[in-house]
Amino acid sequence: MTFREVIVQRLRVRNDQETKFHDIIVTNNRLLQHTIELEKKVKLFEKDGYVNNGESSTQLAELDRRIRELSNERGEMYKTQSENAQRLVNMNEQLRTKEEKDKRQTEEIEILSTKVNKLTAKCELQVHQLREKDVTIQILQDELAALQLEMVTTEERDKKLVEENTQLLERWMNKMNEEAEKMNEATMFYETALEQAKAKKQLKRGSIDISVPYSSIVLPKKATKKINVHDAEIHCIAASSLGSMFATGGADKKIKLIDAKSGHTLQSLSGALQTITSVSFNSTDEMILGSCTDNATRIWSLSTHRIRHTLTGHIGKVYAAKFTGDSNRVVSGSHDRTLKVWDLQKGYNTRTIFTFSSCNDLCLMDADGQTIISGHLDNNIRLWDTRTGTGIKELTGIHNGQVTSVSMSPDGTSVLTNSRDNTLKIIDVRMYDIVRTFQANSFRNGLNWSRSTFSPDGKYVAAGSTDGSLCIWNARNGKLEKEIREHNSVICGVSWNPTGDYLYSAEKNKTVCMWDTSGKKH
């Protein structure tokens, strides 16, 4: 039943209750009127003298009896009427209570009806949205099926291309082998002549094959010179292989060549598109390379000061690069978790090694670059065979922070590591054991590319701290020998001149310090 039907039913019940005693009340009124008329007739009879008549007396008696009966009946009726009136009042009160309750219920019904309508509309909206999502899901499923089909087709086409490429490569290699066999006899003659010319050239230029003598190292007390050569932050510093100069690179996209003794700027090399992250000289100081955050490594000729090679192929920032001893190859390490070996004669990448973690620095374990040591973002140090591209050894648990630099000892038996856990360690590369640990209360490694260095005689190690302090430790006993503060901000790298006469340090905030370690008076 609707609420309107309920209200109509309740009104009918109320009307039935209120008219229940209507007939009794009407009868009582009629009897009362009849009694009044009889009393009037009695008074008329008495007035006309019929009172003494016997028959009239009998009639009067009968009338009195009836009047008494009617009076009694009227009293009962009054009593019943009073009771009915009281009941009527009670019922009216109950009816008013019920009407108020019904009114409240009606209001509640209206509120609930409004809520039901809103919920119904919301439910319909959600049903509509579900239908739209079902349609979208179906579309996505269709697109996924199409992409899967396209992927299968692409894989099949890729397999065919790989097979065709393999066949073409075999044919090309066979052809090249045939041509190489024909040229071998002439090549042997020319190679002999070139080796003789190269030996003469190295003797004239003081090649690394003729070892650079270094003086007895005396630890400095203060900086000999402070120079500012860059227009923006410095990120790296390195001494040349023969000790005649050192180089710095920075955020101004330039490499500055500086005289090793006077500190005068010799040349500014440009061509990089972004920040220079590391610099390195080849063994004869004829070339210098700079790795860069534009994902490339560039090689400049120091005779012409022009770019000779641009090595592109990494898909991440290149953080470190080194020449091999013969200057024919370069090894680079990148944020893209790869090492690449570049053949400078052919001009392209000959080996890519996946390192599982971003490479912060690398060094060559041997001059020909057959074994590489790399330091990584995941705190580990790894050794690689560049001939096969396979890993030789992974050293874990050495540091608790990412490795910021690795450098070989002068005797080639150990590697120096620097880490964001504020320690340096010497690791024996023959036994893979930690030989020495260096730390100090004030030493804090403040950069992910902070470089440390051995002294040329292997007796000392040096590194820069975040507060601008230069720390030098004894490599044999791990004792902190010197802590000198000449810089005002974090030191990004240090490099020792191979002659042992000077130590160079660069702070990120553009200042380079030269430290005299020869003990000579200037």
Retrieve residue 118's tokens: 């809103």
Please tell me the predicted confidence (pLDDT) of residue 206.
41
Mean pLDDT (10-residue bins), the chain, 522 residues: 79 77 79 83 69 64 82 84 86 90 90 93 92 91 88 89 86 73 58 55 44 70 91 94 94 94 92 94 94 94 92 94 93 94 89 92 92 94 92 93 94 94 94 93 90 93 94 93 92 93 93 88 54
**What is the DSSP secondary-structure string of 166-219?**
HHHHHHHHHHHHHHHHHHHHHHHHHHHHHHHHHHHHHHHHT-TTSPPP-PPP--
Retrieve residue 267's tokens: 């040349």
Q: How far is CA 62 from the centre of its chain?
A: 118
Retrieve residue 479's tokens: 């004792």
| Cα(139)–Cα(308) distance, integer angstroms | 54
DSSP state for residue 451 in the 8-state scheme: B
Q: How many CB atoms lie within 10 A of CB 449?
A: 18
DSSP state for residue 379 in the 8-state scheme: S
Retrieve residue 137's tokens: 């899901």
| Cα(324)–Cα(341) distance, integer angstroms | 10
Of 357, 351, 400, the C-alpha closest to 375 is 357
Q: How many residues does the chain have?
A: 522
Please tell me the predicted confidence (pLDDT) of residue 169.
81
Burial zone of 119 (CB within 10 Å; 0-12 exposed, 13-18 middle, 19+ buried):
exposed
- Asked if 90 contacts 48 with a C-beta cutoff of 8 angstroms, the reply is no
Q: What does the H/E/C string look like for 14-45? A: HHHHHCCCHHHHHHHHHHHHHHHHHHHHHHHH
Retrieve residue 424's tokens: 């340096």
Which pTM does this prediction carry? Answer: 0.60
- Asked if 374 contacts 385 with a C-beta cutoff of 8 angstroms, the reply is no
| Cα(468)–Cα(506) distance, integer angstroms | 9
- Asked if 279 contacts 245 with a C-beta cutoff of 8 angstroms, the reply is no
| Cα(344)–Cα(307) distance, integer angstroms | 13
